């Protein structure tokens, strides 16, 4: 009966979060316009225009920072509603100390969001720097990477030392790896990879946010089945807020997530996989994110080792755009692929 009560409350929270966030989106877009927090043109004023700028400078002028609205609304709604869950017939239960679990959830959600917000503001209001492949906007790649690793290692430490998580289960072959302290760097690698993978994927209108909803529905089901109440309710509020955002984010987008959302949401998705013990399942469910970051890694390998590009442009969704695929077609087909991967990943998580 407990699973049914969690699912009932979770569905109600999705609807409630959708309504609240939906009401806030338009005023928030207007606020971003007033503050001039909008995407800027990045193409050089003289010389050859890079292919990336040719494809994406059309989006210049669109407000950036939808992730900030989602982080704020989900955090506040959870803070207000979670204390009342027990009065709604739901027993607050988790395999972990739920106070530490909640600390990890919101530390990851907010800290990576603040890192992304800093990057967004520097991109918009700061001066570009000359990089190896043209002008560079925002925090330097090296600085951002180091900060991501510091945050991720701290999260991995809490997972391992405070929650006692040190096992990775590999389904199909029924292999369980007890990693001990080595779980910390592995979990950090997982978090950093997904944070960057989500950021790379968030290049077309609705692509990353739609794929994320598919992933969250899958892991919301897993969390509810494992009777992890705090995580189930958090995921529900997040799904509702994302669905309201996607209405304004699909092509042609009226608002973008920005790095404030992309870095936070990728790291948070990885944390959910770690908390549910479904690391392998998340690699499948979030397979499109993995393909996107892998295509960028292959492109970097081509430039550095072979001294030539492997793809016309990376990541892979940019290549599809460059060869003539329409943006909505790429997004819809990625969503369909994400659904199939989600079903397969959910099956893996149940065996």
Global pTM reads 0.93
pLDDT value, residue 10: 87
Element (H, E) at 148: helix 141-157
Determine the distance from the C-alpha atom of residue 253 to the mean position of all C-alpha atoms in its chain, rounded to a whole number: 18
pLDDT tens track for 47-63: 565 555 566 567 888 99
Which of 333, 318, 345 has the alpha carbon at shortest distance from 56?
318
Cβ neighbors of 204 (< 8 A, separation 6 or more) are: 251, 317, 321, 327, 330, 331
pLDDT tens track for 265-275: 999 999 999 99
Bridge partners of 213? none
Contact 6, 224 (CB under 8 A): yes
What residues of the chain score a pLDDT lower than 70? 1-4, 42-57, 86, 88-90, 128-138
Does the annotation list 97 as a binding residue? no
pLDDT value, residue 130: 57
Does the annotation list 199 as a binding residue? yes
Cβ neighbors of 244 (< 8 A, separation 6 or more) are: 17, 18, 19, 21, 22, 25
């Amino acid at each position: 009966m407990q699973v049914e009560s969690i699912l009932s409350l979770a569905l109600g929270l999705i609807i409630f979060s959708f309504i609240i966030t939906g009401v806030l989106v338009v005023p928030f877009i207007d606020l971003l316009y007033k503050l001039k927090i909008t995407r800027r043109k990045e193409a050089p004023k003289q010389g050859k225009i890079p292919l990336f700028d040719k494809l994406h400078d059309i989006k210049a002028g669109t407000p950036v920072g939808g992730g900030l609205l989602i982080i704020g609304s989900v955090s506040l709604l959870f803070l207000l509603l979670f204390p009342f869950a027990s009065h709604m017939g739901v027993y607050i239960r988790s395999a972990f100390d739920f106070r530490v679990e909640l600390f990890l959830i919101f530390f990851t959600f907010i800290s990576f969001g603040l890192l992304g917000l800093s990057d967004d503001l520097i991109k918009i209001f700061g001066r570009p720097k000359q990089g190896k492949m043209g002008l560079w906007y925002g925090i330097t790649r090296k600085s951002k990477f180091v900060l991501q690793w510091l945050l991720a290692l701290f999260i991995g430490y809490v997972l391992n030392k405070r929650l006692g998580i040190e096992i990775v289960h590999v389904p199909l072959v029924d292999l369980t790896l007890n990693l001990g302290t080595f779980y910390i760097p592995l979990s950090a690698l997982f978090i950093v990879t997904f944070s960057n993978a989500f950021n790379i994927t968030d290049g077309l209108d609705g692509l990353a946010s739609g794929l994320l909803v598919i992933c969250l529905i899958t892991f919301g089901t897993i969390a509810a089945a494992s009777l992890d109440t705090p995580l189930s309710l958090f995921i529900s509020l997040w799904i509702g807020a994302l669905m309201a955002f996607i209405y304004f984010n699909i092509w042609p987008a009226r608002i973008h997530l920005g790095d404030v959302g992309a870095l936070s949401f990728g790291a948070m998705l990885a944390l959910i996989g770690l908390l549910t013990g479904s690391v392998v399942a998340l690699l499948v469910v979030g397979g499109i994110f993995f393909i996107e970051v892998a295509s960028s890694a292959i492109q970097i390998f081509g430039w550095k080792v072979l001294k030539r590009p492997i793809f016309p442009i990376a990541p892979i969704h940019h290549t599809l755009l460059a060869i003539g695929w329409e943006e909505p077609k790429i997004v819809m087909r990625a969503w369909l692929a994400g659904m199939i991967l989600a079903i397969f990943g959910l099956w893996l998580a149940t065996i």
